[in-house]
Amino acid sequence: MQPDVELIRVTKRYGGAAAVDDVSLAIPAGSYCCLLGPSGCGKTSTLRMIAGHESITEGDILLGGRNVTDLPPAARGTAMMFQSYALFPHLTALENVAFGPRMRGVGKAERLAEAAEFLRLVQLERMADRLPAQLSGGQQQRVALARALITRPRVLLLDEPLSALDPFLRGQMREELKRLQRELGITFIHVTHGQEEAMALSDLAVVMDHGRIAQAAPPREIFERPASAFVARFIGGHNVLDLPEGRFAIRTDRTRLAPAPGGPVLPGHVTAVEYQGAAVRVVVRGAGGQAAEALLPDAVFHAAPVEPGAAVTLGWDAAAAHPLPATAAA
Ligand X SMILES: Nc1ncnc2c1ncn2[C@@H]1O[C@H](COP(=O)(O)OP(=O)(O)OP(=O)(O)O)[C@@H](O)[C@H]1O
Task: Find the Cα–Cα–Cα–Cα dihedral 66, 72, 75, 76, rounded to 10°.
Answer: 50
Asked if 195 is part of the footprint of ligand X (rule: CB under 6 A), the reply reads no
- Residue 39: helix, strand or coil by DSSP? coil
* Stretch of residues binding ligand X (CB under 6 A), selected from 35-43, 167-175, 235-243, 315-323: 35-43
Containing H/E element for 268? strand 265-275
Asked if 163 is part of the footprint of ligand X (rule: CB under 6 A), the reply reads no
* Stretch of residues binding ligand X (CB under 6 A), selected from 33-41, 68-76, 161-169, 288-296: 33-41
Q: How far is the CB of 132 from ligand X (least distance, A)?
A: 24
Containing H/E element for 54? none
Residue 168's CB is within 10 A of a number of other CB atoms, namely: 9
Pick the binder of ligand X from 5, 7, 19, 27 (CB under 6 A).
19
Pick the binder of ligand X from 40, 288, 323, 325 (CB under 6 A).
40
Asked if 45 is part of the footprint of ligand X (rule: CB under 6 A), the reply reads yes
Asked if 252 is part of the footprint of ligand X (rule: CB under 6 A), the reply reads no
Asked if 44 is part of the footprint of ligand X (rule: CB under 6 A), the reply reads yes
Q: Which of 78, 59, 57 is nearest to 5 (CA)?
A: 78
Q: How far is the CB of 209 from ligand X (least distance, A)?
A: 10
Asked if 53 is part of the footprint of ligand X (rule: CB under 6 A), the reply reads no
CA dist 4 and 6 (Å) reads 7
Asked if 161 is part of the footprint of ligand X (rule: CB under 6 A), the reply reads no
As a whole number of Å, the end-to-end CA separation of the chain is 36
Q: How far is the CB of 41 from ligand X (least distance, A)?
A: 4
Pick the binder of ligand X from 27, 33, 42, 286 (CB under 6 A).
42
Phi/psi at 33 (5° precision): -115, 130
Task: Find the Cα–Cα–Cα–Cα dihedral 253, 258, 263, 268, rounded to 10°.
Answer: 90
Q: Which residues are at the interface with ligand X (CB under 6 A)?
A: 14, 19, 37, 39-45, 193
